[in-house]
Structure 1
Amino acid sequence: MIDGFINIYKEQGFTSFDVVAKLRGILKQKKIGHTGTLDPMAEGVLLVCLGSATKMCDLLTEKNKTYTCTMLLGKTSDTEDVTGVMTDVTDVYPDEKTVRAAVMSFVGDYMQIPPMYSAIKVNGKKLYELARAGQVIERDPRPVTIHGITLQSVELPRVTFDVSCSKGTYIRSLCRDIGEKLGCGAVMEKLVRTEVKGFTIEESLTLDEVEKARDDGTLMQHVLTTDKLMPDIPELHISAKGEKLLANGNKLSADAFAENKIHRDTYVKVFDENGRFAALYEYSDEKRQYVPFKMFPVSN
């Protein structure tokens, strides 16, 4: 079984689950998971975890993401993008200067109402299931952060921009909110996720390219080790004193590591005596020890 992760280019028309299902067939292994859903109409970076790296999927959904979006003014739809049923259409919209100002005004924190066509659960039901049944329910706004927006082009009624945002941000809903502020409506026409935590679209592989790499024996050149998913987390290397304790998943004192350091308020990547990434630990002031958070045993 392969352990690690691949930067996949999700193509239009595939769901994130489709990508996982197809990779299971290509790689002939079941233990595969993705790190953050992309809409079927969206394309771009989808980090896919393999083997023991699937333990990281829940942590990676927390990361910031970067997109390139094309927004179409003068329309609204039930899905907040061009795939839905158009509810209002107009060819009257503000001038370019007003549009630019409205888009940039969303940089920072704001309360965003999630779309009905989303996987958010309300009373045990996913919103998109309710929407498909013809139901529209009130959704509570949620805090999101737009870290930055760079306008690429304004060729009305189309506006293309790059946006970096926090987890849980719906770019469809950002387009909706910009359209509401402008008074003319707006829908998302195209969305490309260009980066997730430093992993870029230029480095990504399509499913066809993964299959080709498997066949020509170069696949492992594209599989990154699990520790590379967390480039900003400190590293500790086990000393001879702590080898057996680490192997058994026990708590570890600071002097069980070659560095003999305490890192608070963060996980640490722990490497075994062979230099292999073995676990995530976190320091407990109460126990005055590092305690295991996730172990990454070698797959057979």
Structure 2
Amino acid sequence: MHATSATPATAEARPPRQRIQRRPVHGVLLLDKPLGLSSNDALQKVKWLLRAEKAGHTGTLDPLATGLLPLCFGAATKFSQVSLDADKAYEATLRLGQTSSTGDAEGQILRERPVSLTRAQIEAACTAFTGEIEQVPPMHSALKHEGKALYEYARAGQVIERAARRVRIHAIDILDWQHEVLKIAVRCSKGTYIRTLAEDLGEHLGCGAHLSALRRTASGPVQLRDAISLDALAAMSETERESMLRPPDCLLEEWPSLRLDADDTAKFLNGMRRRVSAADAPHVRVYGPQARALLGSASIQAGELIPGRLLSPQEVQSLLSA
């Protein structure tokens, strides 16, 4: 007969893992994401610091990129798609004269060419890529093919054929140029790959290039200057962290607003359409009678207010009492 082995003393002495008491938290936190951290890892760290029940980010920022990452909590998660669809702004540093296997500083250098350029040539190249352009998504991206991210195929040495996509570059401004290092500011539509833009600019200039650093400075109406670092957030008290949350409608500031009376508020929150004396608009933010009573999003067609994403009465009350 075999004796039952005893539980090791070290296991008995281990203290029970403390369970975090989650709570409803509503709002948007503008994080200055650090280098080397994935967007999801950053989200989970902030979610833990706030003890939030429900959270989501507004589109991934590569681990090698830093800068603005709006994080949505509670009621604000209903509008994360708005930020995902918004125009973006970046500061990008290009290493001219070198192309890499990934299009950025993480890959192996594939080819080196001499750099002999004038500022006028660089300005002309920036102008050539301003406006509506076509981009082929890079293999080292999170874009899915048959359920798998393209970077998974790339790591396995496979190349998948990708169709070109139309994106819009609103502006490219030269911030600094020191022979082989070019720093630019880019304002663009959603879905623009700055890594691909760097490579395409390099080929247009005849010397090649890869992206050596990237920092997001804006997403729709929200700006990097209003963001907080993860270290600064961690050093705060819980009350101070909560004070960093912005109301969910900060993501909707570029939309026109409409205020309803108490009777229409109740009907709107039940998903009923209302007649309004306001101009037609594809997107509006809708409020109740109180100053901060965000009710949700809607559209106006032929004088009719059509509900979109709606907050629950409990969420509306939570924002009013915040």
**Could you tell me which of 258, 263, 272 is aligned with 1:250?**
272
1:224 aligns to 2:246 (yes or no): yes
**Could you tell me which of 277, 280, 285 is aligned with 1:269?**
285
CA distance in 2, matches of 1:31, 1:23: 11
CA distance in 2, matches of 1:267, 1:95: 45
CA distance in 2, matches of 1:211, 1:295: 32
How far does residue 193 in structure 1 lie from its aligned partner after superposition?
Answer: 0.8
Gaps of 5+ in 2: 1-23
Aligned residues of 2:221 and 2:250 also touching (Cα < 8 A): no
Paired residue type of 2:152:
E
Deviations 1:229-251 (A, max 9, x none): 11121222212431331342322
For the pair shown, the structure with the greater C-alpha radius of gyration is 2
CA distance in 2, matches of 1:181, 1:243: 55
Secondary structure of the 1:153 match is strand
1:187 — aligned with what?
210
How far does residue 38 in structure 1 lie from its aligned partner after superposition?
Answer: 0.8
- Cα RMSD for the two superposed structures: 1.7
1:281 aligns to 2:304 (yes or no): no
How far does residue 46 in structure 1 lie from its aligned partner after superposition?
Answer: 0.7
Secondary structure of the 1:266 match is strand
CA distance in 2, matches of 1:294, 1:110: 32
CA distance in 2, matches of 1:251, 1:99: 53
Q: How many pairs are equivalent? A: 290
Deviations 1:37-70 (A, max 9, x none): 1111110011111101101111211111111111
Paired residue type of 2:307:
P
CA distance in 2, matches of 1:205, 1:262: 38
2:4 — aligned with what?
none
CA distance in 1, matches of 2:117, 2:301: 57
CA distance in 2, matches of 1:100, 1:156: 14
Aligned residues of 1:53 and 1:296 also touching (Cα < 8 A): no
Paired residue type of 1:127:
L
TM-score by length of 2: 0.85
Paired residue type of 1:43:
T
TM-score by length of 1: 0.91
How far does residue 168 in structure 1 lie from its aligned partner after superposition?
Answer: 0.6
> Which shows bigger deviation, 227-236 or 6-15?
227-236
How far does residue 170 in structure 1 lie from its aligned partner after superposition?
Answer: 0.7
1:292 aligns to 2:292 (yes or no): no
Q: 1:64 to 1:253 in 2, by over 3 A?
A: same
Q: How does 1:40-55 map to 2 (within 5 A)?
A: 40-55=63-78
1:198 aligns to 2:221 (yes or no): yes
2:140 — aligned with what?
117
Q: 1:102 to 1:244 in 2, by over 3 A?
A: closer
Q: 1:4 to 1:263 in 2, by over 3 A?
A: farther
Aligned residues of 1:266 and 1:282 also touching (Cα < 8 A): yes
1:151 — aligned with what?
174
1:207 — aligned with what?
230
CA distance in 2, matches of 1:240, 1:265: 23
How far does residue 158 in structure 1 lie from its aligned partner after superposition?
Answer: 0.6
1:239 aligns to 2:261 (yes or no): yes
How far does residue 266 in structure 1 lie from its aligned partner after superposition?
Answer: 2.0
Aligned residues of 1:6 and 1:48 also touching (Cα < 8 A): yes
1:171 aligns to 2:194 (yes or no): yes
